[in-house]
């Protein structure tokens, strides 16, 4: 019989006596490997995999690639994703430092508007499309 050794991240052989046990046992190395071992992808970009209840639940951390933050989750063992860290610090070191969150840039200063016309003109083109139109007086100052 084979089991997934979470500490080593590999499938290891063991002698099973047939009593009690848990779902973390497999008839062949290949079955254990395809069920539990982590692929060669960048772990930070892999999806969250909470596991398949082959072990007791434990608190872990994963990198959310959309928000670019490490988040906690409850892990139940034998997950296939490498996006699974024992500590938030480990997740931070391996993922948040490599994929930092983008910083919002300051908005440009408002352009001067002509008081003669409305600053916005709405054009209906379906799907709630709006075009912003700004009116500027035609002077050479605007082109410097």
User: pLDDT band for position 10 (50/70/90)?
Assistant: confident
Q: Which two tokens stand for residue 75?
A: 């892990």
For the stretch 91-141, pLDDT in tens is 999 999 998 887 666 666 666 665 665 555 555 554 444 455 555 555 555
Tell me the domains of the chain and their CATH numbers: 1-37 (4.10.410.10), 38-101 (4.10.410.10)
The mean per-residue pLDDT over the stretch 7-16 comes to: 79
For the stretch 31-45, pLDDT in tens is 887 777 665 668 898
Distance CA 60, CA 5 (A): 17
For the stretch 112-124, pLDDT in tens is 665 665 555 555 5
- Higher-confidence position of 77 and 85: 85
| Bridge partners for 104 per DSSP | none
Nearest to 1 by CA among 23, 21, 29: 29
């Amino acid at each position: 019989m084979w089991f997934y050794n979470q500490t080593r991240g590999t499938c290891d052989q063991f002698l099973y006596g047939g009593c009690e046990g848990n779902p973390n046992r497999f008839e062949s190395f290949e079955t254990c490997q395809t069920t539990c071992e982590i692929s060669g992808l960048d772990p930070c970009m892999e999806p969250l995999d909470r596991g398949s209840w082959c072990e007791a639940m434990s608190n872990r951390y994963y990198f959310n690639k959309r928000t670019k933050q490490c988040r906690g989750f409850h892990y139940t063992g034998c997950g296939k994703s490498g996006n699974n860290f024992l500590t938030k610090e480990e997740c931070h070191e391996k993922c948040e430092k490599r994929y930092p969150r983008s910083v919002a840039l300051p908005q440009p200063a408002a352009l001067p508007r002509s008081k003669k016309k409305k600053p916005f003109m709405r054009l209906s083109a379906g799907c709630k499309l709006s075009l912003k139109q700004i009116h500027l007086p035609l002077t050479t100052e605007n082109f410097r």
